[in-house]
Amino acid sequence: MSWVFEPMNELVGEHLRTLAEYPPVQGGNSFDMSNIVQEFLQRARQ
C-alpha cells in the first residue's frame, strides 16, 4: 500500500499548483483542505 503515496503526492501537488492560478470560489462541506490550500497559496505569492 505504501507504493501509492509517491504517485498520489505528485497528483496532489499538480492539483495544488492549479489552485494558485485558479483559486477555489467556494469551500467544500465534506472534505476540508482549506488550511492546506491557504498555506500553499501563501507560499506561491512569496
Query: pLDDT (tens digit, 9 = 90+) per residue, 4-26?
Result: 888 998 999 999 889 888 887 76
pLDDT of residue 23: 82
pLDDT of residue 30: 58
pLDDT over 80 at 27, yes or no: no
Counting residues of the chain whose pLDDT is more than 90, the rounded percentage is 9
From the list 23, 32, 28, the residue with the least C-alpha distance to 40 is: 23
Q: Looking up cell 501563501, which residue turns up?
A: 42
Indicate whether this model's pTM tops 0.95: no
- CA 20, chain centre distance (Å): 9
pLDDT of residue 26: 66
pLDDT over 80 at 33, yes or no: no
